[in-house]
Amino acid sequence: MARLLYTLLIYLCLPLILLRLLWRGSRAPAYRHRWGERFGFVGRLADSRPVIWVHAVSVGETIAAAAMVRRLQKQHPESTLLVTTMTPTGSAQVAKIFGDSVAHCYAPYDMPDAIARFLSRTHPTLLVIMETELWPNLIHACHQRAIPVVLANARLSAKSAAGYAKVARLATPMLRELSAIAAQTKEDGERFLQLGVARDALEVTGNIKFDLQLDVALRQRAALLKKQWRGSAGRPVWLAASTHRGEDAIIIDAFKQVLEHRSDVLLVLVPRHPERFSEVAALCSAAGYRVQRRSEVQASETAAVESGVQIVLGDTMGELLSFCGASDITFVGGSLVDVGGHNLIEPAAWGVPVLSGPHLFNFTEVSRLLSEAGALDICVGASELAARVVALMADREAYQQMSSAALAVTEANRGALDRLTVLLEKQICQPPAPVSSRY
């Protein structure tokens, strides 16, 4: 009954869903395209090979899934890997990472007819959902068709668990229809168990984001960027990554205070969402800073930051990991506002000291590991953030200690990908799902 009411609500909200697509399309034109895919009207896959479906909501989940997808491609060359996202930025990231080595489209909305249409056109034998993207109708439809569903790199904050508990009649049956859950931490796993997940369906595998590989090409791009940004004077670079509305003004205020002590610092400011690029550029200019957009020099391998530029606006997609490697200090956004934080592991993997705000409920365990090791400093407000940036730039020994601690934490927590792969292999060995020819 709960899922029926949920489904009815989804259909009643369909006009609002379409209006939201139109609104987002007015700010990010890519949202205007490929609407059919969101309703299950996807192209039929060209051959009859088994299909392993990996769903990654947007950019962060796609990057996290990359090593897993490559591992599946290597171990199952007879299968087609289908990678779906929900956002255009995620779609662009799939194309950038995998090219045409995977099939790609948007995932359908959680409506029974859209899901049935999608499943009947793609015929997946396994669905791997990254992290937290749980949809009752999708999981139920796969369960009915005997398609195993694995929640990989699963995290469940106390806040999210409390939300699911309020709709337990909907959430608990959905969670029980999952074939397996690969939780990041023991605490995540306990919260899933408290919501009714069977203990034999749960395994704590760790966080696969720690298995991040910084290949030679990526290191070369980061080195080139660092050379361009630092210039001949070797100016220090402070990266503020994945910022949200409400954080940019705090960062700009902190930057003003930093410049009072170190006038040569370059701020690289990267808003989380592309539709905010121009808004943030205007905010920086209004504060009196000379701004250069990354997109203006992206194609050049020789262009340094123009003389007098104080802020580089990161208005390109898919470069954030190399930005982390090109920075001296990285602040990770979504943490000065109540978003829950973003990926702290990316700068840590480069050995870059990490700063954040206090709102880190999406990365509770990662932030704990980094904080206890001395690789992460949590700052409240602009003044505290500025003081920490200045202190790290002035104290080489303290800087090196944070850098070494960041690398040590990253190295010590590798191995989740291997454990996840073992779990996935158990599900792949199950018999293929029956398919419907209705659509």
Please tell me which residue in 61, 131, 203, 247 is annotated as part of the active site: 61
CB-CB contact of 339 with 242 (8 Å): no
| 417-420 contact pairs (CB < 8 A, 24+) | 417/67, 417/68, 417/71, 417/208, 417/211, 419/182, 419/203, 419/205, 419/206, 420/68, 420/152, 420/153, 420/182, 420/205, 420/208
Residues 274, 270: Cα–Cα separation, whole Å:
9
- The strand pair at 103-106 and 80-85 is best described as parallel
Sheet holding 311-313, edge to edge: 291-293, 311-313, 266-271, 237-243, 329-332, 354-356, 376-378
Residue 61 known to be catalytic: yes
- Give the bridge partners for 29, in sequence order: none
Closest residue by Cα to residue 386 from 336, 435, 421, 317: 336
Report, in this order, helix, strand and coil percent for the chain, each rounded to 5.
Answer: 50, 15, 35
Q: Phi/psi of residue 124, each to 5°?
A: -70, 145
* Token reading at 236: 């220090």
* Token reading at 345: 């592991």
Catalytic sites, residue numbers: 61
